[in-house]
Chain A
């Protein structure tokens, strides 16, 4: 809008990128992780493991427990993801019971997005903040930082609409919850 959004979204941020997947998961759990790596987010073109939605995987014989942390608590995709995880993990040999819970103990931040996931979002045409939404946006088309926020709400809860004044294109910006 022409009035212009100011972004007084202050607060401490620690968003050192990390890979959410443990490289040394025990074999039984590594097998579950491999299944999860094949599941795409229904609203974004990347795996749920690259988006950092998987907080924890535990396997005890035939019982598997997966804990997910949603980007947005009201994200409609999360129920689809839960169901898909349940079905795909249940199809693994030897698995008898699968529980998929949501956790809010440690909220999702951009630090949970893997380097590969970040690259995939960028290729898809999204402007992805490095650490917080408050940073100046970079236009994914021309690289300019003369980009203004048009509206904080876009096609999904995790996207906002900005406008590049340099190349005059509308820009979709990935919008992490405010820190």
Chain B
């Protein structure tokens, strides 16, 4: 087993700790949404979408793994602990934005009489994916222009992969938005419903100002949110949709989650919990 590193070269220990907190939130975002995407395997509207969401899930979970490894490095812990970090924490220790833990039906309406309890709402999945992937691209750019070289290099790699996620999600959004007034109205209803929690993607982790002051993050969460609003507004308006309104619904970055995350973790960690020491 690799020995824990004492410190990260070039970073003061307290700054390394804050950067680890910041990256943990991002890793949790990727893992939790990756799990939600994976739930589409076998249930997509067509086989191409099925494969796409499965591939995107594979990548998001892979990205989470790389970020968790970086978190462990910054904390002076061994990368071997990656599964424990991903699967061994209670819900209140997760720092993902609440939007990403929502089930794939978006909680929009209960399934009709006689239908199975789980039902994916494809419009919700696509809207969430579009909103998240735009936010993620801005976050990656923020890391890539920041002063921590290993993070900047990783961010440049992830950004090139994420562009295909955006291509897929935005092509689908355009297709759905062009599906007539009923389809557009349905998408608009999703956008209005999720807007506050989407803004919650930009809730800052504690100590973010220190990371910005040290040049590790090229811009603050509120600056990222500003840019996201402009980009998303232009994208939506080009499709005949409009951004939602209202204030950000925050709490996820501080560990305040919904029962949806408890249920998700219950399922996602069930195999790991059978034997946390098992080697695969």
Residues of A at the B interface (CB closer than 8 Å) are: 1, 3-9, 72-76, 104-105, 107, 150-155, 157, 161, 175, 177-179
What is the interface size of chain B, counting residues whose CB is below 8 A from a CB of the partner? 33
Q: Which residues of B contact A (CB under 8 A)?
A: 46, 48-49, 51-52, 54-56, 58-63, 65-66, 150, 153-154, 156-158, 160-161, 163-164, 167-168, 171-172, 174-175, 178
Minimum Cβ distance to chain A for residue B141 (Å): 12
Kindly list 18 other residue pairs between chains A and B, CB separation below 8 angstroms, not including A104-B150, A177-B157, A178-B161: A5-B167, A6-B171, A73-B62, A73-B157, A74-B59, A74-B161, A104-B153, A104-B154, A107-B153, A151-B51, A153-B56, A153-B164, A153-B168, A155-B51, A157-B55, A177-B161, A178-B160, A179-B160
Question: For residue A155, which residues in chain B have a CB less than 8 angstroms away from its CB?
Answer: 51
Contacting residues, chain B, for A175 (C-beta < 8 A): 164
Inter-subunit contact B158/A5 (CB<8 Å): no
Q: Which residues of A contact B158 (CB under 8 A)?
A: 73
**Which listed residue, B59, B157, B163, touches A157 by the CB 8 Å rule?**
B59
- Kindly state the separation between the CA atoms of A104 and B60 in the bound complex, as whole angstroms: 17
- A155 CA to B163 CA, complexed, in Å: 18
| Cross-chain contact B48 with A1 (CB below 8 angstroms) | yes
Taking the nearest CB of chain B, how far is it from the CB of A99, in angstroms? 10
What are the 5 closest A-B residue pairs judged by CB atoms, nearest first? Answer: A74-B62, A177-B160, A3-B175, A178-B163, A153-B52
CB distance from B114 to the nearest CB of A (A): 30
| Residues on A with beta carbons closer than 8 Å to the beta carbon of B65 | 74
CA distance A5 to B168 in the complex (A): 8
* Residues A1 and B154 in contact, CB atoms below 8 Å apart: no
How far apart are the CA atoms of A73 and B62 in the complex, in Å?
Answer: 7
Name A's interface SS: loop
Are A153 and B55 touching (Cβ within 8 A)? yes
Query: Within 8 Å CB of B48, what residues of A?
Result: 1, 150-151, 153, 161
Given contacts A105-B153, A151-B51, A152-B52, contact A5 B161 (CB under 8 A): no
Instruction: Check if B171 sits within 8 Å of A178, measured CB to CB.
Output: no
Contact between B160 and A154, CB atoms less than 8 A apart:
no
Q: Report the minimum CB–CB distance from B193 to chain A (whole Å).
A: 24
Are A153 and B157 closer than 8 Å at their CB atoms? no
Q: Which residue of A lies closest to B53 (CB)?
A: A153
Residues of B contacting A76 with CB < 8 Å? Answer: 58, 62
Residues of B within 8 A of A150 (CB): 48
A98 → B minimal CB distance (Å): 14
Least distance between B48 CB and chain A CB atoms (Å): 4
Given the interface contacts A3-B175, A104-B154, does A153 sit within 8 Å of B51 by beta carbon?
Answer: yes
Cα-based distance from A134 to B61 in the complex (angstroms): 26
A residues less than 8 Å from B49 (CB atoms):
151
Q: In the complex where A105-B153, A107-B160, A153-B51 touch, is A7 in contact with B167 (Cβ < 8 A)?
A: yes
11 interchain pairs (CB within 8 A)?
A6-B171, A73-B154, A73-B161, A74-B63, A75-B62, A105-B153, A107-B160, A151-B52, A152-B164, A153-B55, A175-B164
Smallest CB separation, A75 vs chain B (Å):
8
Cβ contact within 8 Å between B167 and A74: no
Complex Cα–Cα for A105 and B149 (A): 9
